[in-house]
Structure 1
């Protein structure tokens, strides 16, 4: 099934690329997003879905002086989040705290909790410990991966360990394995690298060109999803990672981001520079069964499991976030600053 969007919209004042579910907010379905303006004062918006699900309300609007290239909410404290930002000349990363009182347009200033200032190159992302209360973070620049210990009470962050990806690789992003807190996947120009945080060493890799996004399946161990520029979406079983176990067509232009649903196994969102968000269902059985046309020994399938395509955008879509509180709800963000909230209830698999 394909069609446009009937979702709930919200417009940011400036261009934007990143949006995050506020996982620690157990009372409301809420998201954080930040703008990307070179000349204007940038903003962080705290958005909440109304109790009836019919309106997206701005509960807090906060000044952020620099362009926001990455934003992630803390999984155990709804007032804490991270940003990667550019001053126009250099990149930085910081941990911020939302003030106690918010809900009006002239909200108090964000409080900087700590700066992740060990980087010398272009910083790409910050990853939070995937579940539970643990003050550990990962940050990546183009050449290095850092593991940090964050002390919010002391307003400090300490590097625990670091390593380099090597001169032949340029890191661009990554994901923390929710099934193994010592495992992290990092995307690059020519591969996906897997790191063991106990030794801070690379333990494996998948050689793929131009991987833009990566996510672990939170409901199934060893399953990783990648989004690639022109070759679409691939599902990998990391126990046999020489070839993907499933291929999805992706987008008509670059496939930029991919997100696995936190609750419904096999439900995948993707976003692309074709100004669309696609909803897929890659059932668990389809990653194991072979089609009659497959040669003996082949585990790869190319199938179209597109449930819906949301096309109510006028620009490339870079930001995606499932709601942890209401896992049938997701937020998307296009480069022109348009946030759209959608419900996928009509497409949920029968469990």
Structure 2
């Protein structure tokens, strides 16, 4: 099924790559997005879907000192988020807090409550554990994985442990397993590495080329989804790491990001540099939820439910709403946010 966007739009002032669901806001469907301007003062936008779903409202607009390359919202406090930023000469990462009375202020300033300043290599991303309250945060640079302990009341973040990925690996990102607080996957060009946070040691790896992005399936343990330059989208059962169990064709250019739905089984979003968002239904056998892996790897499948193609630039940001999981937001490089609502017949719990 092909079609243009019929969603609700919102425009950022500058170019942008990063958008996240404000999971801790249980009263509203909210997203937070950050801009990527080299010469101008960058901005963080707190965006809320108005009642009735016909309008996106800016609930807060905050200055951010540098280009935002990664943004993640705290899952247990709607006022806290983290960014990876570039000054033009170096990269840094910090944890920020939206001021409590921001709605009454003319020009509210973000409060920095933690500076992730232990990195010597280029920082790629920050990760919060998605499944509940946990005052730990992970930061990944090209060479290292850091585990931090956050104390928001004292406005400090302390390194708890750190480990190197090895000289031959250049890390590009990662994901925290929602089923296991001690398990993290990190990506590099030629493999996915799996880490145990209790020891900060690699437990295993999967060799596979040109991986852009990775996401765990929050509904099915052992299931991991990857976005890859050449092969599109691969779905893996981690108990059978030699080959993916399902291959989706992806995009006509680079497949840049993938996101698994928080509630609906097998519902996956992908976006890429072809200016398209694709919605997929990956039908995996039910035994992925028990202790036995999928019996045999699958071949390529065409599981495309819908394409949203009313964009003029590459799409780097995707976020499902955890409050209303039939809603998602996309962000194209030209700063355009579009929030879409999926038709009920396309979803299966």
1:152-175 per-residue CA deviation (whole Å, 9 max, x = no partner) reads 011111111110111111001110
- Aligned match of 1:26: 26
Cα offset, 1:345, TM superposition: 2.7
Paired residues of 1:243 and 1:300 also in contact (CA < 8 A): no
Paired residues of 2:264 and 2:348 also in contact (CA < 8 A): no
Equivalent position to 1:329, from 315, 327, 330: 327
Cα offset, 1:133, TM superposition: 1.4
1:123 aligns with 2:127: no
* 89 and 209 in structure 1: CA distance in 2 versus 1, 3 angstrom threshold: same
- Aligned match of 1:46: 46
1:307 aligns with 2:305: yes
- Aligned match of 1:97: 97
**Unmatched runs of 5 consecutive residues or more in structure 2:** 289-294
Query: 2-side partners of 1:106 and 1:169: how far apart?
Result: 46
Query: 2-side partners of 1:238 and 1:56: how far apart?
Result: 39
1:349 aligns with 2:344: no
Query: 1-side partners of 2:148 and 2:70: how far apart?
Result: 17
Query: 2-side partners of 1:347 and 1:86: how far apart?
Result: 43
Cα offset, 1:115, TM superposition: 0.0
- Aligned match of 2:292: none
Give the aligned CA root-mean-square deviation in angstroms.
Answer: 1.4
Equivalent positions of 1:5-154 (< 5 A) are 5-103=5-103, 106-154=106-154
* 166 and 100 in structure 1: CA distance in 2 versus 1, 3 angstrom threshold: same
Cα offset, 1:300, TM superposition: 2.6
Query: 2-side partners of 1:341 and 1:77: how far apart?
Result: 23
- Aligned match of 1:292: none
Paired residues of 2:74 and 2:82 also in contact (CA < 8 A): yes
1:188 aligns with 2:179: no
1:249-289 per-residue CA deviation (whole Å, 9 max, x = no partner) reads 0000000000000000100000000000000000222998x
Cα offset, 1:105, TM superposition: 8.8
- Aligned match of 2:256: 256
- Aligned match of 1:177: 177
**Unmatched runs of 5 consecutive residues or more in structure 1:** 289-296
- How many residue pairs get aligned? The number is 343
Query: 1-side partners of 2:343 and 2:208: how far apart?
Result: 34
Q: What is the TM-score when the length of structure 2 is the normalising length?
A: 0.96
